[in-house]
Structure 1
């Protein structure tokens, strides 16, 4: 009992509040944002700039995956199309037609694409940024929203240049960046991010994520961090740190002292919140089948076998393999039982209601084991050296 009291006191301290009652309210608010915060991203650019492939990469999909944005050598984005993130249902990425296209004239573009619904705009180009791109950026700035210039298909440029004598990759990247910046002088030399949707672990993909995190309000950062694909060991460590910092709130909510609704249901279930928390961890760390198979193909190594060593990953995979939209059902409660049963003597805790101490212990062990598994996979894949 003394241990639990100490753990609760630590959770109250972590909440930044002075009393348990206030800490419960803060935990409720924190987990509600964690589960339900929305993020709407707009991606635009002219034909052939690679918008659809970029949208797919953010969503952790290959271009030929089911539900992926359609790609091709001709104009494939003729309409304003919103795509839901496959593991973060409150994160949406909209693939927008380029400004000035037949159906979206420059004059009415922002109104036609429902400008106010987006948290920020990403403007893509595979060459130089057009006058329409610059005009769009100016209008976005007037509305006091953020925009980001992304120079795509860098892998194509590198492949072309490396056949030349005296090839130097960094010099090529600097030349491309300088050219883009000089092209955008009317906007005061904004930062330009160089990316490849094929080699998304390289170049500025992570740098772009860091900039987005810097500009977004705190609660929106949570959604981006969970949804953005793991592209390096450093990116994974940010995710791990974030989840560890949320354990106090998830523990208070899960232990039944601050029950809150599970998204998509009209009832509450303390144990299910813990499952959703660890499931979000599982997907955010890139431990799901789709992420691991895609990375395995890229590095030509079987990475799924490394996940098999994690008891938590196995328990989550059995019950939450397709979506984070976990409902309060027999399957959900069974999943909670599967997780709790990993610890001798705790099996009856689900039926009786988890204590704060056991809940916190369960979540800490779960996050730590999933993190350790993801770190091992990142190392085997060679992403820790990028």
Structure 2
């Protein structure tokens, strides 16, 4: 889809129609902003479906807004949960088919399977015939599904007590092979099975599940999901930064036709409204708003004060306002000007051509890149602190 918009923008530029180019750019950004993603979580009762729903939303079990959880099936009817980072992402917690009175075809009709973009089928022990029936019906609808073996952390702890020569990698491989063989016996040639602990998403194979989704989802949905994911690794943070960086190119192009707000110390104006909007999105995607930092503290047990101690950017961990952003830009004016090279903007294919059309646009681009870099650095430090990791060399 981006290629389609790039072609239209390029044509508008070649025709000297900057206003049309900026309009097309804004249209593309609006599509990005409003892309829906609807995820279904299903599986047997007590397998940890609701805990996975909470984990995907970065929410601790039992806290405000969390899906109810328990050792037995707590989901009696389909329940929708809105992602706190993006209201266009809806995660549905579905009752397991084995815990309902419906036959498979009735279940699929009642649960409205056609509306979901992809399915995660969860089991805490073994995948059963009902799981296979669901997967096969999903296959018939040409939709994606993924098998998640949950509560792996409990299995690892049990194995430590059961085997004197315990080896975690061997236990994990054994669990995966067992689940894979079960599903093969149920009729799946090459099932995708991911080992997950919903309480420790950074461990085991949750990141592999995320990488698979990034490969298989359409472009817009891929970016939407990536930016909403919890920060489970430094690599995910890096990819978020890259995705946000790509959006900055489009935002800078959109500012070509916008009114600029002069910033003291800068020789050209910058589009303050675009910058403020982008800073807010960066802070949300990177998990640096006050509310998201509190949720991270709840999940990890690291105090909010300790997490905030890792923040250096004045735009992290606070409410973003135009006045605050303007203050930061004013203080950083010398750096932004020194690194704003109009010719350098031309290196960015197509979008860079638009950016280079005005020094104001180039300045907006450099200001946003500067802010994104500082916020991403804070995110890395917070992530390392939250998980008790050693800083990368």
Q: Say yes or no: does 1:212 pair with 2:205.
A: no
How do 1:1-386 residues align onto structure 2 when only pairs under 5 Å count?
17-18=10-11, 19=13, 20=18, 23-163=21-161, 164-185=163-184, 186-254=187-255, 256-257=257-258, 271-296=272-297, 298=300, 300=302, 302-307=306-311, 309-314=312-317, 317-319=318-320, 335-344=321-330, 355-380=360-385, 381-382=387-388
**1:260-294 deviation digits (Å, cap 9, x = unpaired):** xxxxxxxxxx7444323221211211223344345
Q: How many residues in Structure 1 have an aligned counterpart in Structure 2?
A: 341
**3-state SS, counterpart of residue 37 of structure 1:** coil
Residues 343, 288 of structure 1: alpha-carbon distance in 2 compared, 3 angstrom cutoff: closer
**1:183-210 deviation digits (Å, cap 9, x = unpaired):** 0111113120000011111011111111
**What runs of 5+ residues in structure 2 fail to find an aligned partner?**
261-270, 334-358
C-alpha RMSD of matched pairs (Å): 2.7
**3-state SS, counterpart of residue 342 of structure 1:** helix
**1:217-274 deviation digits (Å, cap 9, x = unpaired):** 1011121011111101011101011111111111233454499xxxxxxxxxx74443
CA contact (8 A) 1:254 1:272 kept: no
**3-state SS, counterpart of residue 73 of structure 2:** coil
CA distance in 2 between counterparts of 1:148 and 1:251 reads 38
**3-state SS, counterpart of residue 89 of structure 1:** strand
TM-score where L is the length of structure 1: 0.81
CA contact (8 A) 1:15 1:249 kept: no
> More displaced, 135-144 or 284-293?
284-293
CA contact (8 A) 1:200 1:231 kept: yes
CA distance in 2 between counterparts of 1:198 and 1:101 reads 24
**3-state SS, counterpart of residue 235 of structure 2:** helix
**3-state SS, counterpart of residue 74 of structure 1:** coil
Residues 244, 15 of structure 1: alpha-carbon distance in 2 compared, 3 angstrom cutoff: farther
Residues 180, 281 of structure 1: alpha-carbon distance in 2 compared, 3 angstrom cutoff: same
Residues 84, 300 of structure 1: alpha-carbon distance in 2 compared, 3 angstrom cutoff: closer
1:84 offset after TM fit, Å? Answer: 0.3
